[in-house]
Amino acid sequence: MNSIPLSGIVFACVFAAALVGMAIRRVLPEEHLCTDVKETVRLSTALISTMAALVLGMLVSSAKSTYDARKNEVAEMSSEIVSIDRSLERYGPETGNIRNEFRLVVAEGIQRIWPSQTSLASELRPGGKGETLADQLDHLEPKTSTQAAAKSQIALEITTLRRTQWLMYLKSQHNSVPIPLLVVLTSWLVIIFVGFGLFSPPNATIFVTLGLAGLAVSAAIFIILEMYTPFTGVMRISSAPVIEALSQMER
């Protein structure tokens, strides 16, 4: 989901709802704006505001957990890349071609997940070259017990790295804000802003205040949507850990 258009739609809806409330205020008979009516509307708005705040808080917490999990997986993946390269280096000069191929795979992965061209979409699905590296490793023939142990260790590390990559990809495919929940939340915010406009006099101060309030809730929606898509948009997870891992491999 594109966070900027959606948060813009939320802002337009809630601010328009406040203007609708002001318009309704003009045509309502005076008895519909008495103290008892105001108190009932205030209590109803407070109830809906509490529910909306709880849902917003839940979504922010869930989105932050998702964002932090993907960030930790990137750091973990970077550590595993360096570990594999060091293990290949310790094995001996026989792994020179595998190490060079591994560097190319990592560089390609960086370009695939963090494309240099903003018009290109991020692709988290692991490529097939990781399987080729595993096949090349199988063809190694250890000459000592140390190399045999190193080969087993490298195979395990490659498997772990592939598992981390696939988990990150699969989790990213299923982490998003449910559309029905977003629609319900927006409808609650619309009701709240209608209530605000219903008993607010139409002046510049009120317009600015309601505009800022609408901007605040739409900014919260924007942050939630951004954190649920951590490899695209404004709050994209940095590629610095993987780039640093690649620089370590080239030393």
- Rounded average pLDDT over 36-63: 89
DSSP-based three-state secondary structure for 116: coil
List the one residue out of 69, 72, 95 whose CA is nearest residue 84. Answer: 95
Write down the pLDDT at residue 123. 82
Q: Answer yes or no: is pLDDT of 228 > 70.
A: yes
List the one residue out of 234, 235, 224, 216 whose CA is nearest residue 182. Answer: 224
> How many whole angstroms separate alpha carbon 187 and alpha carbon 55?
13
| Percent of the chain predicted with pLDDT > 90 | 33
Which stretch of DSSP H or E encloses residue 108?
Answer: helix 96-113
Write down the pLDDT at residue 220. 92
List the one residue out of 91, 178, 171 whose CA is nearest residue 136. Answer: 91
Write down the pLDDT at residue 118. 65
How sure is the predictor about 1, in pLDDT bands with cuts at 50, 70 and 90? low
State the sign of the Cα–Cα–Cα–Cα dihedral 208, 214, 220, 223.
negative
Tell me which of 105-119, 157-171, 181-195, 228-242 is least confident. Answer: 105-119
DSSP structural state of residue 209: H
* Contact of 87 with 148, CB cutoff 8 Å: no
For the stretch 86-118, pLDDT in tens is: 988 888 888 888 888 889 888 888 888 888 766
> How many whole angstroms separate alpha carbon 30 and alpha carbon 172?
54
Residue for token digits 């006099």?
Answer: 201
Write down the pLDDT at residue 92. 85
Write down the pLDDT at residue 191. 93
Token pair in block for residue 157: 């590390």
**CB atoms inside a 10 Å sphere around CB 120:** 11
Write down the pLDDT at residue 130. 66
State the sign of the Cα–Cα–Cα–Cα dihedral 174, 10, 210, 196.
negative
Token pair in block for residue 167: 């988990």
